[in-house]
Chains A and B, each alone.
Chain A
């Protein structure tokens, strides 16, 4: 039995003789280039997301930690601090 890839090689040789029908895109490309790469709405959204993440990172996380620690010390009331409080 022959190698099936011989068949593919022959098919490819034939396929290479085919030339695609022409297409003209120059005007569309130029039109597309005139559009801004990113619309202002995209930048506003990106800034809003970044700002939210920053707020959570700077304010949200330490507060949560403190709350968690507070809950821990309230639950573990057998732990006495140095002042006896």
Chain B
């Protein structure tokens, strides 16, 4: 089954490499649900989300000659997506102004613990919390929390060493803990 999918991908990749737009559109349609789901962790804005997903596939197309079929195409696309998202945060960080104060966020979580949150609300609250971190910390924790990536997977996605990921994950969680304690965490 997996091999069939791999063969279909490979057929479309070869077509795309020879300039067959229809073949590439087929690849995009096959993987866009997974990439949309992943990129939704990088922005809440639907317009920006659309742009980011497009950027992932445009970048993938241009990098297609470098793709090696040893790993599934989705892994390779996810790697590109993680870097596109991280890059977006780095640019956005310079322009952004924070809206919700952390104390307010904390009040909300105390009033409605995660168990009774709707998944969408929980995702937005987690997004709002992680948004307060530096892009590199946010990238590590987004992959950990939203996508359940382990250290090895994060290293692979971001192109960082295992040691660097371990250190960043440890420090990022430490910062998150301090941030919540300072906001009056008392549960």
Contacts and interface: CB of A to CB of B under 8 A. Distances in A.
A33 B21 contact: yes
A19 to B, nearest CB: 6
A5 B173 CA distance: 8
B114 A30 contact: no
Interface in A1-46: 1-5, 7-30, 32-34, 37
Interface of B: 21, 24-25, 28-29, 32-33, 36-37, 40, 46, 49-50, 53-54, 57-58, 61-62, 109, 113-115, 117-120, 122-123, 125-126, 129, 145-146, 148, 173, 176-177, 180-181, 185-187
Contacts of B21: 30, 33-34
Nearest to A19: B37
Contacts of A26: 25, 28-29, 32, 57
27 contacts: A4-B177, A4-B180, A5-B177, A7-B109, A8-B176, A8-B180, A11-B117, A12-B146, A14-B114, A14-B115, A14-B119, A15-B123, A16-B119, A16-B146, A18-B122, A19-B37, A22-B32, A23-B36, A23-B50, A26-B25, A28-B50, A29-B25, A29-B58, A29-B61, A30-B21, A32-B54, A33-B58
A24 B32 contact: yes
Main secondary structure of the interface of B (DSSP, over half): helix
Residue of B29, B117, B122 most packed against chain A (CB within 10 A): B122
Contacts of B33: 22
A11 B126 CA distance: 7
A29 B80 CA distance: 15
Given A5-B176, A23-B32, A25-B28, A11 B119 contact: no
A30 B106 CA distance: 44
Given A7-B109, A11-B129, A21-B46, 6 more contacts: A16-B119, A19-B37, A20-B40, A22-B33, A25-B57, A33-B21
A25 B54 contact: yes
Given A8-B145, A28-B54, A15 B122 contact: yes
A29 B57 contact: yes
Contact of A2 (B37, B58, B187): B187
B50 A27 contact: no
B54 A14 contact: no
